[in-house]
Amino acid sequence: MNAPLREVKLHQLTHYYQENGISCDNFNCNHILRCTELANGRPLMNGAEAHLGTHYGEIAKILVLSLDTGGDAENINVRTEKIEAIVYETENQHMKGTIDILFDLFSNYHLNKIDVLKHFSMTNAAKCSAADNNADKLP
Protein backbone atom coordinates (compact mmCIF):
# COMPACT_ATOMS: atom_id res chain seq x y z
CA MET A 1 0.00 0.00 0.00
CA ASN A 2 1.24 3.50 -0.84
CA ALA A 3 2.05 5.95 1.92
CA PRO A 4 -0.41 8.84 2.38
CA LEU A 5 0.53 11.92 0.35
CA ARG A 6 1.23 13.90 3.53
CA GLU A 7 3.85 11.40 4.66
CA VAL A 8 5.54 11.41 1.25
CA LYS A 9 5.64 15.23 1.16
CA LEU A 10 6.81 15.42 4.78
CA HIS A 11 9.75 13.17 3.96
CA GLN A 12 10.57 15.13 0.78
CA LEU A 13 10.42 18.52 2.49
CA THR A 14 12.46 17.39 5.48
CA HIS A 15 15.11 16.00 3.15
CA TYR A 16 15.11 19.19 1.05
CA TYR A 17 15.53 21.44 4.11
CA GLN A 18 18.39 19.33 5.44
CA GLU A 19 20.11 18.89 2.07
CA ASN A 20 20.07 22.65 1.42
CA GLY A 21 21.12 23.71 4.92
CA ILE A 22 17.84 25.52 5.60
CA SER A 23 16.24 23.28 8.20
CA CYS A 24 15.35 25.12 11.39
CA ASP A 25 17.11 22.48 13.43
CA ASN A 26 20.41 22.86 11.54
CA PHE A 27 20.32 26.17 9.65
CA ASN A 28 23.47 26.57 7.58
CA CYS A 29 22.41 28.38 4.41
CA ASN A 30 25.22 28.93 1.92
CA HIS A 31 23.96 32.50 1.29
CA ILE A 32 24.24 33.64 4.93
CA LEU A 33 27.40 35.72 4.42
CA ARG A 34 25.93 37.61 1.47
CA CYS A 35 22.63 38.17 3.26
CA THR A 36 24.45 39.40 6.37
CA GLU A 37 26.40 41.83 4.20
CA LEU A 38 23.22 43.07 2.48
CA ALA A 39 21.54 43.55 5.85
CA ASN A 40 24.08 46.25 6.78
CA GLY A 41 24.20 45.28 10.44
CA ARG A 42 20.48 44.56 10.74
CA PRO A 43 19.84 41.30 12.60
CA LEU A 44 18.65 38.35 10.50
CA MET A 45 16.15 35.66 11.40
CA ASN A 46 15.50 32.37 9.65
CA GLY A 47 11.82 31.73 9.28
CA ALA A 48 9.50 28.80 9.61
CA GLU A 49 9.48 25.67 7.54
CA ALA A 50 6.28 24.80 5.67
CA HIS A 51 2.92 23.92 7.20
CA LEU A 52 1.72 20.55 5.93
CA GLY A 53 -1.80 19.85 7.18
CA THR A 54 -2.32 16.55 8.95
CA HIS A 55 -4.96 15.64 6.32
CA TYR A 56 -3.16 17.21 3.34
CA GLY A 57 -4.01 15.49 0.08
CA GLU A 58 -7.01 13.54 1.36
CA ILE A 59 -9.39 15.91 -0.42
CA ALA A 60 -7.18 18.18 -2.53
CA LYS A 61 -3.63 19.45 -2.92
CA ILE A 62 -3.76 23.15 -2.09
CA LEU A 63 -0.64 25.22 -1.43
CA VAL A 64 -0.79 28.74 -0.04
CA LEU A 65 2.28 30.90 -0.62
CA SER A 66 2.68 33.46 2.13
CA LEU A 67 4.71 36.58 1.41
CA ASP A 68 6.66 36.53 4.66
CA THR A 69 8.98 34.28 6.63
CA GLY A 70 6.27 32.71 8.75
CA GLY A 71 7.50 34.22 11.98
CA ASP A 72 9.62 32.17 14.35
CA ALA A 73 12.08 29.51 13.22
CA GLU A 74 9.85 26.45 13.54
CA ASN A 75 10.38 23.04 12.01
CA ILE A 76 7.64 21.55 9.87
CA ASN A 77 6.01 19.62 12.72
CA VAL A 78 5.92 22.58 15.11
CA ARG A 79 4.69 24.86 12.31
CA THR A 80 1.85 22.47 11.49
CA GLU A 81 0.83 22.23 15.16
CA LYS A 82 0.84 26.02 15.43
CA ILE A 83 -1.23 26.56 12.25
CA GLU A 84 -3.76 23.87 13.15
CA ALA A 85 -4.20 25.47 16.59
CA ILE A 86 -5.34 28.80 15.13
CA VAL A 87 -8.87 29.85 15.93
CA TYR A 88 -11.01 31.71 13.40
CA GLU A 89 -11.15 34.79 15.61
CA THR A 90 -7.40 35.26 15.16
CA GLU A 91 -6.09 38.80 14.92
CA ASN A 92 -3.84 37.68 12.05
CA GLN A 93 -5.79 39.00 9.08
CA HIS A 94 -3.66 37.00 6.62
CA MET A 95 -4.66 33.76 8.31
CA LYS A 96 -8.28 34.80 8.68
CA GLY A 97 -8.42 35.50 4.94
CA THR A 98 -6.69 32.20 4.22
CA ILE A 99 -9.26 30.35 6.35
CA ASP A 100 -12.12 32.10 4.51
CA ILE A 101 -10.75 31.11 1.10
CA LEU A 102 -10.11 27.52 2.20
CA PHE A 103 -13.60 27.33 3.69
CA ASP A 104 -15.05 28.33 0.31
CA LEU A 105 -12.81 25.89 -1.58
CA PHE A 106 -13.80 23.02 0.70
CA SER A 107 -17.49 23.98 0.96
CA ASN A 108 -18.68 20.74 -0.66
CA TYR A 109 -16.94 18.74 2.09
CA HIS A 110 -18.79 20.37 5.02
CA LEU A 111 -15.64 21.17 7.00
CA ASN A 112 -15.78 23.91 9.60
CA LYS A 113 -13.53 26.97 9.42
CA ILE A 114 -10.92 25.36 11.65
CA ASP A 115 -10.84 21.86 10.14
CA VAL A 116 -9.86 23.34 6.76
CA LEU A 117 -6.45 24.12 8.29
CA LYS A 118 -5.73 20.38 8.32
CA HIS A 119 -6.26 20.02 4.56
CA PHE A 120 -3.78 22.43 2.97
CA SER A 121 -0.12 23.28 2.93
CA MET A 122 1.52 26.67 3.29
CA THR A 123 5.03 27.81 2.64
CA ASN A 124 6.67 31.19 2.82
CA ALA A 125 8.20 33.26 0.04
CA ALA A 126 11.23 33.99 2.23
CA LYS A 127 13.26 31.77 4.52
CA CYS A 128 15.26 34.66 6.00
CA SER A 129 14.57 38.31 6.62
CA ALA A 130 15.75 41.23 8.67
CA ALA A 131 14.34 41.03 12.17
CA ASP A 132 14.12 44.75 12.95
CA ASN A 133 10.51 45.34 11.80
CA ASN A 134 11.70 47.67 9.04
CA ALA A 135 9.29 47.50 6.09
CA ASP A 136 11.98 47.32 3.41
CA LYS A 137 13.22 43.96 2.21
CA LEU A 138 16.67 42.61 1.59
CA PRO A 139 17.52 42.10 -2.11
Rounded distance between C-alpha atoms, residue 51 and residue 70, angstroms: 10
Spell out where 1-136 has E strands.
Answer: 44-46, 51-52, 63-66, 121-124, 128-130
Confidence band for 133, pLDDT divided at 50, 70 and 90: low
pLDDT 10s digits, 31-42: 888 888 888 888
The predicted model scores a pTM of 0.84
Give which of 16, 29, 40, 18 is closest to 128, Cα–Cα: 29
What is the tens place of the pLDDT at every residue in 12-55?
A: 999 999 999 889 888 888 888 888 888 888 888 777 899 999 99
The total of other beta-carbon atoms located within 10 Å of residue 103's CB is: 17
